[in-house]
Amino acid sequence: MAIHTTPSSPPSGGVALDIQAWTEQAAASLSNLNLSAPTFVAQPISHHAERHGPSPAVRGTSIALDIPLDTPQDARVDSTYRRREPQRRDSMERREALLKGKEGSRRRRRWENDRLLGNPYRVPPTSADWEVRPPTHRTPVPYYLAPLWDNGLAAHAAARRERKVKSTSQHKQAVKGVPEGASRVPKEFKEKMKKSKGARGLLQDLETEVRGFVAKCQENDEEAVTDSEEDEVVFVGRDGEMQDRTWRSLEREYLLFQSAADDQGAAFCRYLVHQIGCYYGLKTWSVTTGNPARREAYVGFDMQTGHDFAVQEQLPRPLYGLV
């Protein structure tokens, strides 16, 4: 069997595309590019140019591209915490100047006072100032001297107790026989005496009688003590109790003031009687007796406290001289 080769068809009659020429033309066009021109011109390539090559009108054209160099970027918003950027003028000298403040201002004065700049006796701190020490003064004592130190402290404490007991005993001897609250003038009584006119003379008359009564009781007490040393009389009652009757023979109460029961002005006089009794440590009371009724104010000694007498060794200053 014979094989016959089929001859290839000859190329169509036309202008063939010259690749080398087209490359040179494109390179020349790119070298003449103008990036600043905002226009873009493009020539359409027709089907005829593809088949028959570029036409003479296309060879002189140029292509312009617009490529912006400074494209604005969108600011990125970061919702997380970011470090604050330091100020351009921030420095340590500026911070120290702000801490000091201006000359003559309160901030400057506080800054100087904190650092004791105006104190001529200022001494800078040393390393010994930062040592750990006990808050109180501590006296180091060797072990073999501890008993002597304890004995000295014990003697000092004993002497202090003796002085306290001695002063207390002297005070008790000075006010022996004076009940609590005696020889004291209440503030309310002073105010009433200042407001009442003519009450000072009445107070002086009543107090003079009370002082005479107390002095008489003191004399009787001295006589009773002298007689009891020589001859003591003891009475034995039916119940077997021994009672000393010598103090019952003495007068222990005194009628100081009396008035009609319906007299309203006499109430102030009885008030003065009670104040005088409190000042001298005496017992005072008022009773209503008789017909027609009258009010009597008495002063006396309180025998229920267990003491025989409540007479003071030395009478205090007169009450009318203190109000």
The whole-number pLDDT of residue 304 equals: 60
Can you tell me the distance from the alpha carbon of 302 to that of 253, in angstroms, rounded to the nearest whole number? 10
End-to-end CA distance of the chain: 173
Tell me the two tokens of residue 306. 């267990």
Nearest to 203 by CA among 88, 320, 35, 304: 320
Per-residue model confidence (pLDDT) at position 14 = 46
Domain ranges of the chain: 143-174, 187-230+244-321
Can you count the helices (H) and strands (E) in the chain?
Answer: 8, 5
Beta strands in the chain (DSSP E): 235-236, 242-243, 253-260, 283-289, 294-300
pLDDT at 254: 86
List of the chain residues with pLDDT < 70: 1-17, 33-63, 65-79, 86-87, 171-183, 221, 223-251, 303-313
Instruction: Give the Cα separation of 68 and 64 in Å (integer).
Output: 13
Per-residue model confidence (pLDDT) at position 316: 83
Beta carbons within 8 Å of 183's beta carbon, 6+ residues apart: 175, 279, 281, 316
Q: Is the pTM of this model over 0.85?
A: no
d(C-alpha 206, C-alpha 270), whole Å: 10
Neighbours of 2 (CB within 10 A): 3
- Predicted local distance difference test score (pLDDT) of residue 68: 65
